[in-house]
Amino acid sequence: MSLVFAFLGLLLALLIGGVALYLITARQYQSSNSVANSYDEWTEDGILEFYWGEHIHLGHYGTPPQRKDFLTAKSDFVHEMVVWGGLDKLPRGTTVLDVGCGIGGSSRILAKDYGFKVTGITISPQQVKRATELTPEGVDAQFQIDDAMAMSFPDASFDVVWSIEAGPHMPDKAIFARELMRVIKPGGILVVADWNQRDDRQIPLNLWEKPVMRQLLDQWSHPAFSSIEGFAELLAETGFVGGEVVTADWTEPTLPSWIDSIWQGIVKPEGLVRFGLSGFIKSLREVPTLLLMRLAFGTGLCRFGMFRAVRSSSEQLLTERAIAESVKV
Ligand SMILES: C[S@@+](CC[C@H](N)C(=O)[O-])C[C@H]1O[C@@H](n2cnc3c(N)ncnc32)[C@H](O)[C@@H]1O
């Protein structure tokens, strides 16, 4: 009997120790430097790329979701987003800015399969290095370090601005929205896919949702999640949008990604040999966050948001300005 108690005691101690370690080693957002450092580390050790492939974003499993290979679901996501954004109708040579490009998974598909001329930016120098290494000659995608909160590009530089899952790292979503729209040419298109929180102006976060949200932010260097409604309003408020900001909720087709990403650790045991004990511990420490993400997206605390906006054309801007002037008179 005392052996059973000793065993249970040990289990409890391990559990408490594990939770304490999880909380203490969280990668809280401090500045864009903390984001850059986290991605540099994740890129240098190669673990994320080994399990997640060249796309650091969720997969698209269809509606209703179908069983699919994890990496296929990720590249499918890019094609689904192209079609949803109406980018498949654009001519070859269209210039695209991929904001928060990771190691260039989307950028390469946009360049190879659609003939676009892509520039990818990320805050992480290691990601720029790896994205460049992974891009074969002849694929029109180039990468550079730049801060999405204050981009180095002049106004109206690109036909399309594209961004996947970078928004939660941005400390000021209004500035992020403005920067995205600012660099689009008049008549050009913005397509964004992002993790969002439920709009808490409508239903405030309850007792269990608040600490869960806290961990989702702190574990992966996120200052805050927007809501789908809130970010659409911020885009509209930039004054650059012609017409409506179109949104969609892709929580359902992306939901299997969370468990699938844990499953990768089991179906790819060679990772154990490749990354050793420290790699195993590093991967294991992400499992609670992946489960919390699954919980949050499965219960409505979080939602996967899609955003599409068209930058007002210069004629439209002139007409709007003329109307504003006539109202003043
Ligand atoms: C979750 S990853 C997504 C990467 C890529 N879009 C993909 O789907 O594979 C988030 C990306 O946003 C980038 N990022 C975060 N904050 C940034 C900032 N202030 N400026 C530019 N990129 C940033 C990170 O470096 C990383 O590449």
Tens digit of pLDDT for each residue in 93-145? Answer: 999 999 999 999 999 999 999 999 999 999 999 999 999 999 999 999 999 99
Q: How confident is the model at residue 314 (pLDDT cuts 50, 70, 90)?
A: low
Indicate if ligand 1 lies below 6 Å from the C-beta of 35.
Answer: yes
Query: Ligand 1 centre from 106 Cα, in Å?
Result: 12
Residue 78 identity (one-letter amino acid)? V
Indicate if ligand 1 lies below 6 Å from the C-beta of 104.
Answer: no
Give me the count of residues in the chain.
Answer: 329
Mean predicted confidence (pLDDT) in 268-292: 91
- Per mean pLDDT, which range of 11-25, 125-139, 230-244, 279-293 is the poorest? 11-25
What is the phi/psi pair of residue 299, to 5°?
Answer: -110, 0
Question: Rounded to whole angstroms, how far apart are CA atoms 233 and 248?
Answer: 14
Residue nearest to atom 14 of ligand 1 (CA): 100
Count CB atoms within 10 A of the CB of residue 16: 10
Indicate if ligand 1 lies below 6 Å from the C-beta of 39.
Answer: yes
84 has a pLDDT exceeding 80:
yes
321 has a pLDDT exceeding 70:
no
**Amino acid 21: pLDDT:** 76
Residue nearest to atom 4 of ligand 1 (CA): 102
Indicate if ligand 1 lies below 6 Å from the C-beta of 107.
Answer: no
Question: Rounded to whole angstroms, how far apart are CA atoms 218 and 212?
Answer: 10
Count CB atoms within 10 A of the CB of residue 231: 24
Mean pLDDT of the chain: 93
**Amino acid 232: pLDDT:** 98
Count CB atoms within 10 A of the CB of residue 19: 11
38: left (phi over 0), alpha (psi -120 to 50) or beta: alpha
Indicate if ligand 1 lies below 6 Å from the C-beta of 81.
Answer: no
Instruction: Report strand pairing: 95-99 vs 117-122.
Output: parallel
Per-domain residue ranges of the chain: 30-328
Query: Ligand 1 centre from 102 Cα, in Å?
Result: 5
What contacts 298, CB < 8 A, 6 or more positions away? 255
Indicate if ligand 1 lies below 6 Å from the C-beta of 301.
Answer: no
Residue 254 identity (one-letter amino acid)? T
Q: Please report which residue ranges of 98-227 form alpha helices under DSSP H.
A: 105-114, 125-134, 173-182, 209-219
Indicate if ligand 1 lies below 6 Å from the C-beta of 193.
Answer: no
Mean predicted confidence (pLDDT) in 224-242: 97
Closest CA to 309 of 218, 225, 247, 248: 247
Mean predicted confidence (pLDDT) in 154-174: 98
Residue nearest to atom 13 of ligand 1 (CA): 100
Query: Ligand 1 centre from 173 Cα, in Å?
Result: 14
Indicate if ligand 1 lies below 6 Å from the C-beta of 32.
Answer: yes
Question: Rounded to whole angstroms, how far apart are CA atoms 11 and 307?
Answer: 46
**What tokens appear for 97 in the block?**
């800015």
In DSSP terms, 121 is beta-bridged to: 99, 144
Query: Ligand 1 centre from 199 Cα, in Å?
Result: 23
User: Coil, strand or helix: which one is 196?
Assistant: strand
pTM (predicted TM-score): 0.92
Indicate if ligand 1 lies below 6 Å from the C-beta of 254.
Answer: no
- Class level of CATH domain 30-328: alpha beta
What contacts 204, CB < 8 A, 6 or more positions away? none
Indicate if ligand 1 lies below 6 Å from the C-beta of 124.
Answer: yes
Mean predicted confidence (pLDDT) in 252-281: 93
